[in-house]
Amino acid sequence: MALVGEWAARASEAGAELAVFPEAFVGGYPKGSTFGGFVGGRTDAGREEFARYFSSAISVPGSETDQLGAVAARHRMHLVVGVIERDGGTLYCTVIFLGPDGTLLGKRRKLMPTGAERMVWGFGDGSTMSVYDTSIGRLGAVICWENLMPAARMAMYAQGIELYCAPTADGRESHHATMRHIAQEGRCFVLTANQVMRVADFPADHPTPSGDDRPDAVVSRGGSSIIGPLGQVLAGPVYDTETLLFADLRMADLAGAKYDFDVNGHYARPDVFRLEVNRSPQHAVIAEAAFAQNTEAASRDAAPTIPSRGGRDLPEA
């Protein structure tokens, strides 16, 4: 929490209007942890480790989001922050959006935890796949390997996303290639952020994925970058060094970028391809009277995300 304030202050001093933080920046990305889980069993030590991790998560909304909102308001800037969200007994990998007045604009839960993440994080649903209309542009987020899901990307393009935020824990060079592709595909600005972490940044009993226990050994190598709407690299990628990346984003460039390619407009083929998105919240238990309403809402909200000409809100079927 304190680091969000420190980095936001530095960004604000440099004139930034938007700061994007990495995946699980608040609550922590437990790289290397197994939580004592294996096929067919769990350990008591793993349950204790999960309980500690659970205690570091936050409620959204909650007192912690109020604190982060105060940071955004203090610096008059938009913040996009990766957090670990606690809801009942389940954790979610979530991104929150804060406006320059401190308002919690909304949240985005990761749809598909990857690999061992599924042992500790729940699955988000389509109800949080929103793009927010802000004073600096249409703002949204897709998290880590969700960026490899074409349907998830298309759902965001269909809402007219302009500032495509990609908090991640992926520091491979292939992630940078993916970000450049998305910027060209969506004709949007892409801002991706990943943490730089070393062994010394973790508790002493935390396992090191590489087996290198030196305090300065790199556990997460970063790779943050900012990409323009034609795939041009505006800043980064930066590896193995903690830093702030800055870029002046000319929103007027977006129109020209779509001159020859608009994935949700003149380059779309809605007569050939159709994508439906279920935007209804999914609950394990609902009242009988509400069940029919929820089913009806799901049918109504499951709509193609490729309208005939560049719509922003997901259209009705």
DSSP classification of residue 211: S
For 276-295, what is the mean pLDDT?
81
Residues 6 or more apart from 284 whose CB is under 8 A from it?
Answer: none
Residue 126 is assigned to a structural domain of this protein: yes
Kindly calculate the radius of gyration of the chain based on its CA atoms and give it in whole angstroms: 20
Farthest-apart Cα atoms in the chain, separation: 59
Helix axes 173-186, 150-157, angle to 10 degrees: 40
Position 32, amino acid: G
**Taking Cα atoms as reference points, which of 249, 278, 260, 266 lies closest to residue 311?**
266
Integer distance in angstroms from the first to the last C-alpha of the chain? Answer: 42
Residue 312 is assigned to a structural domain of this protein: no
Average pLDDT in the chain:
91
Residue 8 is assigned to a structural domain of this protein: yes
Q: How far apart are CA 197 and CA 189, in angstroms?
A: 26
**CB-based contact 193:143 (threshold 8 Å):** no
Say what the pLDDT of residue 298 is.
66
- Sign of the dihedral defined by the CA atoms of residues 152, 157, 158, 160, in that order: positive
Structural domains in the chain (count) = 1
**CB-based contact 139:78 (threshold 8 Å):** yes
pLDDT tens digit sequence for 31-66: 888 899 999 999 999 999 999 999 999 999 999 999
Q: Catalytic: which of 93, 107, 110, 185?
A: 110
Helix axes 63-75, 2-13, angle to 10 degrees: 10
Residue 250, exposed/middle/buried by CB under 10 A (0-12, 13-18, 19+)?
exposed
Q: Catalytic: which of 93, 144, 165, 188?
A: 144
Q: How far apart are CA 240 and CA 85, in angstroms?
A: 27
165 is catalytic: no
Among 1-5, 76-80, 232-236, whose mean pLDDT is lowest?
1-5
31 is catalytic: no
Residue 204 is assigned to a structural domain of this protein: yes
Domain with 93, as residue range(s), is: 2-257
**Taking Cα atoms as reference points, which of 284, 317, 273, 270 lies closest to residue 298?**
317
Residue 305 is assigned to a structural domain of this protein: no
Say what the pLDDT of residue 285 is.
87
Q: How far apart are CA 60 and CA 64, in angstroms?
A: 8
Residue 200 is assigned to a structural domain of this protein: yes
Where would I find the beta strands (DSSP E) of 71-209? Answer: 78-87, 90-98, 104-109, 132-134, 137-141, 163-167, 189-193, 196-198
Q: How far apart are CA 236 and CA 168, in angstroms?
A: 15
Integer CA distances (angstroms), 70 to 67, 104, 144, 298, in order: 5, 10, 27, 36
* Residue 156 belongs to domain with CATH number: 3.60.110.10
Residue 286 is assigned to a structural domain of this protein: no
Say what the pLDDT of residue 313 is.
55
Position 287, amino acid: A
pLDDT tens digit sequence for 81-140: 999 999 999 999 999 999 999 999 999 999 999 999 999 999 999 999 999 999 999 999
Residue 265 is assigned to a structural domain of this protein: no
